Structure 1
Amino acid sequence: MAGLKPNDFNWIIEGKLAVSECIGGGGLTPRKIRREEEIQWIKSQGINAIFSLLDSDFNLKNYQEVGFRTYHYPLADDVPKESLNIIFEAIKEALSDKERKLLIHREYLDEEVPGILAGYLIYSELLDDPILARTILEKILEKPLSPKAIALIPNT
């Protein structure tokens, strides 16, 4: 298989919704060669859209130039509930296209991202139990969700 798998890459919904840290790695210094290798690997997985939760529009133009559909929803450290619903709805809208395979990323796979992913599973009604959504994300990511992440999961 060509390319380089991004750090913390995992399928949340196999073949449909994935997560990783920022393509090319997190931090202030972009790594062009690594980014290109990771883009090649992501494309080999059939992913055709990037959903960025970064504060800046970092790399969005690069993604568009190589054919990815892009979405940008900057995520504050303290996520207001209104912002959560906007993000959940944007993910749902992106995935409504049967051909779309979406990668969500932020600089690192921090506390908020797993909570948003578990929350999306509830919001989209793929699951109806917040505890099950949390458990599934913990199993996929192989780490417990923080209290901050758990607070982002809507109660049904």
Structure 2
Amino acid sequence: MVIGGAGRDDLVANGTTVFRYLSLEDSYLSATGSDESVDWISGFNSNRDRLDLTALGFTGLGDGTNGTLKVSTEGDYDHTFLRSYEADADGNTFVLEFFDYVDFNAANFQRLISGTDTADAILGTSAGAETLMGYAGRDTLSGLAGDDRLVGGAGVTR
């Protein structure tokens, strides 16, 4: 797993890599159009690598609005971009730049299955990698198949 953190990072996929983003400030285009904080990822393979954007609330691919990310290319398909067109309070938008053409699919995104403020029994699926988020309450988290991430939250988790 790779967590780039704030500022521009040059990241390289190596085997089966999960790139986890925890904050919009980890990779963004500023309101003025500056790309000084956009992460660059090379070697991403859509058959084996994943993005964990669950902490940011992104649900997958789309038009870049309503919690989705838009895929675009520049040049002769040398660079692929994932972009959100929904700005934060400062006008910044989340962007990732890939130094290859990437044919993204749903399996490239960690899925989020979340609980409530009460006691929940949260069961993953056999669909692949998921993040199970317990939040508050006494929760029971069961990942099932895939490379799952279990997060207990503020309550008691068992």
What's the TM-score, normalizing by structure 2?
A: 0.33
More strand by percentage: 2
What's the TM-score, normalizing by structure 1?
A: 0.33
Determine which structure has greater relative contact order: mean sequence separation of CA pairs < 8 Å that are 6+ residues apart, divided by chain length.
1
More helix by percentage: 1
Q: Tell me which structure has the larger Cα radius of gyration.
A: 2
